[in-house]
């Protein structure tokens, strides 16, 4: 078993990063070389802006290269909850923003010629208990009536052709959802950004941010650069940046581990017996699982196995054992299959689980995707580029209040308590 991301290990490495010291004067400096930051950089560079991208690690070292590979449309909440919290107009706009972002990914891939196995697979939201069917069906009815007619309801009998498991009792099928190879998309996006004129420094963590007469100076161990505008695209990894540069976000982003395993490539017979529908799948539990087949027919199976803000080999290994048990419960036929990869990453949660984008503390920002960043980050990255160029009418989250989380300063000490609460809710549901 290899303790590294399948996406990182099976994608070509990005070779366009700068080896020279960090220096120069730029129109925009982007902190974070994941989907959000690279999309902002690409759009700005294409418009003729001088753009620098800084990341503490390699391109896609954070959540963009450590996720489950889903591009699921819709929002993380039940749609009725979103309407109640945001109001009907903003809830509809946000729902459609996810749809539009997947369209943008598809268009970008075609325009830049990125080979990343993009496919409109559809997503199954699976009812894990009989008691979950009514709520899931009610949400489906509301979504299909008000915002997304391209959805279908599947009764338990309909699932036989979709998933080789008796563990589920019905499902909502979201036809617009997609999947792709995240690592290949990352490399292609970074290469496209450089091709259009952006400069990318990897392994250049931002350790300081100082106001200048006409903008900002960013400090890294490899040098300093000046920029008129700064974009923060660090997401869950904001807590790993020192307090001074990103303190605003450290008080608002809850970093939570999400963990994954990937099996050896399955045979055609195993695929037919396990995932005949070949879609992305998400269960209805609070501490649930998500899974899909990889381009080479591995089952990639993930979840928040442990409520932890740590993702290292030791933490990932503990979570991997729990995920293997969960996988065997859903797919007993895979109980003894070899696991080739085990990895984890941090998800940037907000208290209400809605993302945020706008301007604060002298920076533009988009983050807080709460587990749905792979799909929305392309759109919000380009929204940040619009904001940097003075356009303010493309942000579906404009003006959404974002209060700090009490007693949070980068380290979510309350995660174990939250985990216990959700376990109780799952037992009683």
38-75 tens-digit pLDDT: 999 999 999 999 999 999 999 999 999 999 999 999 88
Average pLDDT, the chain: 94
Look-up of token digits 């959802």: 177
Mean per-residue pLDDT, 159-180: 97
pLDDT 10s digits, 283-328: 999 889 999 999 999 999 999 867 777 778 888 899 999 999 999 9
**135 has a pLDDT exceeding 90:** yes
**95 has a pLDDT exceeding 80:** yes
Beta strands in 69-196 (DSSP E): 70-71, 123-126, 151-155, 170-174, 178-179
What's the first-to-final CA gap in the chain, in angstroms? Answer: 35
Tokens of 319: 């979570």
Angle between helices 35-46 and 373-388 (to 10 degrees): 40
Please give the pLDDT value at position 271. Answer: 98
Mean per-residue pLDDT, 116-139: 97
Please give the pLDDT value at position 305. Answer: 67
Mean per-residue pLDDT, 208-215: 96
> pLDDT band at 335, cuts 50/70/90?
very high
Please give the pLDDT value at position 75. Answer: 84
**78 has a pLDDT exceeding 90:** no
Residue 240, judged by CB atoms within 10 A of its CB (0-12, 13-18, 19+), counts as middle
Beta strands in 233-323 (DSSP E): 254-263, 280-283, 289-293, 299-303
Mean per-residue pLDDT, 10-37: 98
> pLDDT band at 368, cuts 50/70/90?
very high
**Cα distance between residue 72 and residue 126, in whole Å:** 14
**Cα distance between residue 232 and residue 234, in whole Å:** 6
180-189, 248-257, 331-340: which range is least confident on average?
Answer: 248-257
Please give the pLDDT value at position 252. Answer: 96
Residue 311 is given by DSSP the state -
Tokens of 265: 């490539």
**Cα distance between residue 46 and residue 327, in whole Å:** 44
213-227, 228-242, 298-312, 395-409: which range is least confident on average?
Answer: 298-312
Q: How far is CA 176 from CA 95, 97, 121, 282, 420, in A?
A: 12, 12, 8, 15, 34
Look-up of token digits 């990125």: 114
Mean per-residue pLDDT, 263-267: 98
Question: Is 330 strand, coil or helix?
Answer: helix
Tokens of 364: 């533009």
Which residue ranges form the domains of the chain, and what is each CATH number? Answer: 6-419 (3.50.50.60)
**Cα distance between residue 348 and residue 370, in whole Å:** 5
**248 has a pLDDT exceeding 70:** yes
As a whole-number percent, the residues of the chain with pLDDT over 90 amount to 87
Question: Is 389 strand, coil or helix?
Answer: coil
**Cα distance between residue 123 and residue 76, in whole Å:** 13
**118 has a pLDDT exceeding 70:** yes
**220 has a pLDDT exceeding 90:** yes
Question: Is 30 strand, coil or helix?
Answer: strand
pLDDT 10s digits, 401-414: 999 999 898 888 77
Count of Cβ atoms closer than 10 Å to residue 70 Cβ: 25
- 317: nearest Cα among 346, 342, 339: 342
Count of Cβ atoms closer than 10 Å to residue 213 Cβ: 5
Please give the pLDDT value at position 424. Answer: 73
**Cα distance between residue 301 and residue 172, in whole Å:** 19
**Cα distance between residue 156 and residue 388, in whole Å:** 49
> Taking the alpha carbons of 376, 381, 387, 390 in that order, is the dihedral positive or negative?
negative
Question: Residues with Cβ < 8 Å from 14, sequence gap 6 or more?
Answer: 58, 59, 60, 186, 187, 190, 191, 200, 202
Count of Cβ atoms closer than 10 Å to residue 333 Cβ: 13
Helix H or strand E encompassing 272:
helix 268-274
CA angle 318, 300, 102 (to 5 degrees): 125
pTM: 0.95
> pLDDT band at 353, cuts 50/70/90?
very high
């Amino acid at each position: 078993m290899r303790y590294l991301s399948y996406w990182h290990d099976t994608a070509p490495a990005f070779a366009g990063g700068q080896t020279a010291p960090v220096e120069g004067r730029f129109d925009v400096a982007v902190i974070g070389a994941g989907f959000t930051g690279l999309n902002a950089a690409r759009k700005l560079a294409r418009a003729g802006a001088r753009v620098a991208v800084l990341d503490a690690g390699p391109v896609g070292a954070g959540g963009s290269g450590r996720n489950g590979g889903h591009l699921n449309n819709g929002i993380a909440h039940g749609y009725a909850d979103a309407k109640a919290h945001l109001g009907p107009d903003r809830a509809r706009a946000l729902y459609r923003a996810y749809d539009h972002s997947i369209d943008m990914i598809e268009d970008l891939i075609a325009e830049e010629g990125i080979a990343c196995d993009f496919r409109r697979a559809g997503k199954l939201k699976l009812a894990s208990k009989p008691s979950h069917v009514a709520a899931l069906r009610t949400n489906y009815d509301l979504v299909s009536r008000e915002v997304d007619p391209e959805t279908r309801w599947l009764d338990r009998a309909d699932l036989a052709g979709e998933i080789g498991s008796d563990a589920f009792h019905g499902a909502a099928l979201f036809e617009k959802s997609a999947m792709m190879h995240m690592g290949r998309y990352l490399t292609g996006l970074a290469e496209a950004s450089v091709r259009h004129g952006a400069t990318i420094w990897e392994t250049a963590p931002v350790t300081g941010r100082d106001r200048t007469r006409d903008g900002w100076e960013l400090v890294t161990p490899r040098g300093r650069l000046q920029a008129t505008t700064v974009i923060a695209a660090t997401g869950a990894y904001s807590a790993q940046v020192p307090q001074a540069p990103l303190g605003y976000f450290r008080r608002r982003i809850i970093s939570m581990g999400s963990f994954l395993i990937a099996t050896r490539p399955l045979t055609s017979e195993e695929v037919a017996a396990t995932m005949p529908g070949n879609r992305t799948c998400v269960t209805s539990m609070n501490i649930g699982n998500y899974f899909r087949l990889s381009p080479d027919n591995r089952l990639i199976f993930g979840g928040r196995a442990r409520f932890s803000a740590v993702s290292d080999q030791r933490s990932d290994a503990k979570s991997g054992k729990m995920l293997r048990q969960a996988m065997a419960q859903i797919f007993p036929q895979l109980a003894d299959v070899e696991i080739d990869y085990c990895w984890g990453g941090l998800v940037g949660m907000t208290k209400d689980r809605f993302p945020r984008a706008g301007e604060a503390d002298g920076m533009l920002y988009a983050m807080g995707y709460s587990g749905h960043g792979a799909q929305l980050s392309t759109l919000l990255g380009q929204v940040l580029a619009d904001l940097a160029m003075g356009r303010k009418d493309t942000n579906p989250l404009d003006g959404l209040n974002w209060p700090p989380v009490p007693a949070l300063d980068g380290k979510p000490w309350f995660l174990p308590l939250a985990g216990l609460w959700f376990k109780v809710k799952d037992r009683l549901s």
